[in-house]
Structure 1
Amino acid sequence: MTTLSTHVLDAGAGAPRADLEVVLATGAGAELERARTDADGRIRFVTVLDGGHHALTFATATAFHPVVRVDLTVDGAEPHHHVALLLSPFAYTTYKGS
């Protein structure tokens, strides 16, 4: 079992993206938790995850990418996973953080 957090940064503005809705779901799409980023662009989900396929859906509300879905494989043997999302007006990048 593992925990999950995320951090969203607006690369165009050079600042965290606050008040952005993020949905944590199973790989099949069943919603597990819905939260909004804090003033620092972060969420620490309270749902404890088993291993397997999961997804984070970010309601970015940008003109080109209004929604970003990040699919990930959770290793239940790891105590924590962190997913970072960097947004710009016409692109995004995501990576597994620490």
Structure 2
Amino acid sequence: MGRLSTHVLDTANGKPARGVAIELFALEGAQRRSVVRTTTNADGRTDAPLLIGEAFRTGTYEIVFAIGAYFKALGTATADPPFLDVVPIRFTIAEPDGHYHVPLLVSPWSYSTYRGS
């Protein structure tokens, strides 16, 4: 059974990013449909996979991370307005039974991602 998960790591403070608002969108042609909204827990993960079972389908998706609000809530010094506010990651699920893990490593000034396992 395929699934999609994520994990947010705060590289500026060296810890999991707790309380990051996340929204997953399915992209279908010119349409952008919200699939799930959630928030990261104390481990920087969501309590449940973003997609699993019947909801997990091949296609193009976008995960949007509210990073500016996260760093603001921590009181982290950033630019005003923040250099990174909302971080979108667009990707394609091609394996109907695959595990797609899309982590975000982030600071107020940079981010990176990769397909994890």
Return the TM-score normalized by structure 2.
0.77
- Residue 2, structure 1, aligned to residue 32, structure 2: no
Aligned position for 2:101: 82
Runs (4+) off by over 6 Å = none
Aligned position for 1:52: 59
Q: Counterpart of 1:32 in 2: which secondary structure?
A: strand
User: Computing the radius of gyration over CA atoms, which structure comes out larger, 1 or 2?
Assistant: 2
Q: Which runs of 5+ in 2 are unaligned?
A: 72-81
Aligned residue pairs total 98
Going by fraction, where is strand more abundant, 1 or 2?
A: 1
Deviation sequence 1:50-98 (CA, Å, 0-9, x none): 1010110001115211000000101243332100100012111011110
Aligned position for 2:113: 94
Going by fraction, where is helix more abundant, 1 or 2?
A: 2
Aligned position for 1:26: 26
**Cα distance in structure 1, aligned partners of 2:95 and 2:26:** 14
Deviation sequence 1:3-40 (CA, Å, 0-9, x none): 11000000010000001110011123200000000100
**Cα distance in structure 1, aligned partners of 2:5 and 2:42:** 15
**Cα distance in structure 2, aligned partners of 1:30 and 1:41:** 24
Which AA in structure 2 matches 1:60? I
Q: RMSD of the alignment, in Å? A: 1.5
Checking the alignment, whether the CA contact within 8 Å between 2:56 and 2:96 is kept in structure 1 is no
Q: Which runs of 5+ in 1 are unaligned?
A: none
Which AA in structure 2 matches 1:88? S
